[in-house]
Amino acid sequence: MTTTALSTGTGRHLYRPQQKYIPVLATLSLLVVMFTVGSLRYENFGSAQVVLDIFIDNAFLLVVAVGVTFVILTGGIDLSVGSVVALGTVISADLLQVHHWNPVLVIGLVLLIGATLGAGMGAVIHFFEIQPFIVTLAGMFLARGLCYVISVNSISIDNHLYVRLAQTQIPLPGGLHVSPSVLISLVVVLIAAYVLQLTRLGRTVYAIGGNQQSAVLMGLAVGRTKILVYAISGFCSGLGGVLMSLYTLSGYSLNAVGMELDAIAAVVIGGTLLIGGSGYVWGTVLGVLTLGMIQSLISFDGTLSSWWTRIFIGALLFIFILLQRIISVRRT
Amino acid sequence: MTRHRLFWPGLILILLLFSNLFFTPDFFSIQVRDGHLYGSLIDILRLGAPLILVGLGMTLVIATRGIDLSVGSVVAISGALACLWISRLPDMNQLSGVLVAIVLGVLLAVALGLWNGFLVAALGIQPIVATLILMVAGRGLAQLITSGQIITIRSSRYALIGAGYWLAVPFSILVALGVFALAGLVVRRSALGLLLEAVGGNPEASRLAGIHSRRLVWLVYGFSGLTAGIAGLMISSNVSSADGNNAGLWIELDAILAVVIGGTSLAGGRFSFTGTVVGALLIQTLTTTIFTIGIPPETTLLFKALVVTLVCLLQSPAFRAKVLYRRRRPGPAEPSPSQPTSQLEVAG
């Protein structure tokens, strides 16, 4: 291990093998290969707009996956994100269309509800020592059930601000364009990367994921951080809900079914270890891009049916989990 | 008596059943029509049969400290394969053809279960992650088998499994009962159950004690695949069609819920088949009750969330210590729920 570190290390990481970057680099090269193959095989695929479109179509998934990254880094899991996204869209649509609230207030409330739900689940996980899996499962039922209580039918949104935000195209040089949602999601990514790498909270997240017992013994605020991490995930899901209601201009209780799986898949493909303690937000961005790229390739191809997407994602998950396993075995 | 593992779930189940009397006075009546048994109770048993089956498989997986998220996909796949095979038969009622379809569906399900076992036991991947792969890819596979269509079949022989009657009793109840009795017999009348609990209690210690824990892990995931496969046949046979997208949707969550309600510890090392059956019936009764009372069926999820939270809180040692026993100091004679004597209770 030291020999590889010495030969490839830049001096700063003399004692740290570059091994920790392998999963992210693998995802990056996979992404490049997929894009190259797509460009060679299909006309119009090899343009920057195709990549930007992936961002536009997956902005909400990106935000949600960033939240899930925090949770998985601590070694937990959050199954409730898809339902909270749906709850966000339904609450937005209901308050805007039925109760005619101010849109800014609505967005604020949705974010608050998401964060509160997350914090509540985190508190149950921390104080009563119940597995994150089962607590967030209950949260998933709760949020989805609340959606149905508010409205069973799809409500379309015609609020002025929402429609403007949804239809605005921000031009970029070279005839390219993105949507405001993309900018919001990228801001979230930047903040998340900063928090994880350069703040006390972020380092505590990694410490808990590495070894919770040690983190407690080091005197780190483990309980507070764990609750906060689920609150962050809930907040991101709420924001994901707002972005999704912008994307579809509607609120529907069956929105985002199975999104928790996509988010977890994106995080894993992005190289974050599911046992916690290792991974990067940038990896998650690459993971979301990979999922989007698979969808684009399949839709450009035209002959492959949509269900191949799921099979490909499953196969990719398998490969990356295997890769993780090999790395963690080598480490010990 | 309140200390018994099945006391609370059993009590809730009975209360729930009796609360139906207010809304449907003839809730408990069972009639015989055309030589078949009819009644709300029979319906609960019949519709709950697939969940009971999947729950039984899940129980053993959870007993070894695992979890199987892929059962919903396996349900869809086995039903899809069986229906595809039958739809290709020249005569859909041909006995040998239907039997081959059933065997194929179950075999594929067992193979998928063993794949999960391979990932967990041989490669050492966390169960939740290992089975997530098949959960994601499985829906795609099911749709691949059905070519994205809903395959509809007309086969009275195949319909027997999910919707038919045998000796006046719905056949699906008999199948679930049979699997329950057989599995209970094998697990509790041999050392198998004890070994499984040992593996779940402490995998490393049980390995050092000479238990082939890997082999047992293969076995439980295979069994989970088997029960999910049978449940898949049942569900597709009940509606005489295979839907790759929606068959068995969320059944993994219901099954985990049933297992947890039944008192099987998610931390492994303790399980109860009877508890799982009670849990599954509780969930099915809840669904049926909500339908009969006339509350919008969508709110079932809210009740489920409530039940999961309650059951998990009551089971959590930390919750008991912090909230329930705060006022009265537990005396030394009070039996702790994690004592080995209560773990080895014969159930099943």
The ipTM is 0.77
- Angstrom distance (rounded) from CA B137 to CA B142: 9
Is A11 part of a structural domain of the chain?
no
Look at B137 and A144 and tell me if their CB atoms are within 8 Å: no
Answer yes or no: is pLDDT of A33 > 50: yes
In contact, B134 and B74? CB cutoff 8 Å: yes
Out of A137, A141, A321, name the one closest to residue B133 (CB): A321
Residues of A engaging B, defined by a Cβ cutoff of 8 Å: 77, 124, 127-131, 133-135, 137-142, 144-146, 148-149, 152, 253, 261, 264-265, 268, 274-275, 305-311, 313-315, 317-318, 321-322, 325, 329
What number of C-beta contacts closer than 8 Å exist between A and B?
130
| Separation in Å, CA of A167 to nearest CA in chain B | 32
What are the tens digits of pLDDT across the range B199-242? 888 888 888 888 888 889 999 999 999 999 999 999 999 888 88
Answer yes or no: is pLDDT of A47 > 90: no
Answer yes or no: is pLDDT of B27 > 50: yes
| Separation in Å, CA of B77 to nearest CA in chain A | 13
Identify the DSSP state of B336. Answer: P
Answer yes or no: is pLDDT of A114 > 90: yes
| Domain boundaries defined on chain B | 33-294, 299-329
Is A86 part of a structural domain of the chain?
yes
Is A215 part of a structural domain of the chain?
yes
Look at A128 and B313 and tell me if their CB atoms are within 8 Å: yes
Is A55 part of a structural domain of the chain?
yes
Instruction: Name every chain A residue with its beta carbon within 8 A of the beta carbon of B132.
Output: 261, 264-265, 317
- Could you tell me how many residues make up chain A? 332
Answer yes or no: is pLDDT of A1 > 80: no
Q: What is the mean pLDDT of chain B?
A: 83
| Separation in Å, CA of A102 to nearest CA in chain B | 28
Coil, strand or helix at B42? helix
Backbone angles phi, psi at B325, to 5 degrees: -100, 20
Is A4 part of a structural domain of the chain?
no
Answer yes or no: is pLDDT of A300 > 70: yes
| Separation in Å, CA of A145 to nearest CA in chain B | 5
Q: In sequence order, which ranges of chain B are alpha helices (DSSP H)?
A: 7-23, 40-63, 71-87, 95-117, 127-146, 156-163, 171-189, 192-201, 203-208, 213-239, 251-261, 273-293, 300-315, 317-319, 340-343
Is A58 part of a structural domain of the chain?
yes
Q: How many domains, in total, are found in chain A? A: 1
For B33-294, CATH number?
1.10.3470
CATH code of the domain containing A191: 1.10.3470
Rounded average pLDDT over B136-160: 86
Instruction: Name every chain B residue with its beta carbon within 8 A of the beta carbon of A311.
Output: 137, 140-141, 144
Quickly state the pLDDT bin for B3 (edges 50, 70, 90).
low
- Predicted local confidence at residue B328, as pLDDT: 53
Which range is least confidently modeled, A143-157, A259-273, B153-167, B323-337?
B323-337
- Predicted local confidence at residue B209, as pLDDT: 87
B56: Cα within 13 Å, side-chain hemisphere = 31
Look at A130 and B312 and tell me if their CB atoms are within 8 Å: yes
Is A250 part of a structural domain of the chain?
yes
Which of these, B120, B116, B126, B86, lies nearest to B103 by C-alpha position? Answer: B86
Which of these, B328, B324, B292, lies nearest to B25 by C-alpha position? Answer: B292
Is A3 part of a structural domain of the chain?
no
Q: Locate B92 and state its tokens.
A: 């859909």
- Angstrom distance (rounded) from CA A238 to CA A254: 16
The single-letter code of the amino acid at B77 is: I
- Which H or E element spans position B32? strand B31-33
Quickly state the pLDDT bin for B333 (edges 50, 70, 90).
very low
Instruction: Name every chain A residue with its beta carbon within 8 A of the beta carbon of B123.
Output: 322, 325
Look at B139 and A265 and tell me if their CB atoms are within 8 Å: no
- Predicted local confidence at residue A160, as pLDDT: 87
Task: List the beta bridge partners of residue A155.
Answer: A251
| Domain boundaries, position A146 | 20-331
What are the tens digits of pLDDT across the range A74-87? 999 998 999 999 99
Look at A138 and B308 and tell me if their CB atoms are within 8 Å: yes
Q: What would the DSSP string read from start to end of B239-289? A: HTEEETTTTTTTHHHHHHHHHHHTT--TTSS---HHHHHHHHHHHHHHHHH
Out of A149, A307, A329, name the one closest to residue B299 (CB): A149
- Spell out the long-range contacts of A175-182 with Cβ–Cβ below 8 A and sequence spacing 24 or more: A175/A49, A176/A48, A176/A49, A176/A52, A177/A49, A177/A52, A178/A52, A178/A55, A178/A56, A179/A56, A179/A59, A180/A246, A181/A56, A181/A59, A181/A60, A181/A243, A181/A246, A181/A247, A182/A52, A182/A55, A182/A56, A182/A59
- Angstrom distance (rounded) from CA A330 to CA A310: 30
The single-letter code of the amino acid at B173 is: I
Percent of chain A exceeding pLDDT 90 equals 47
Answer yes or no: is pLDDT of A12 > 70: no
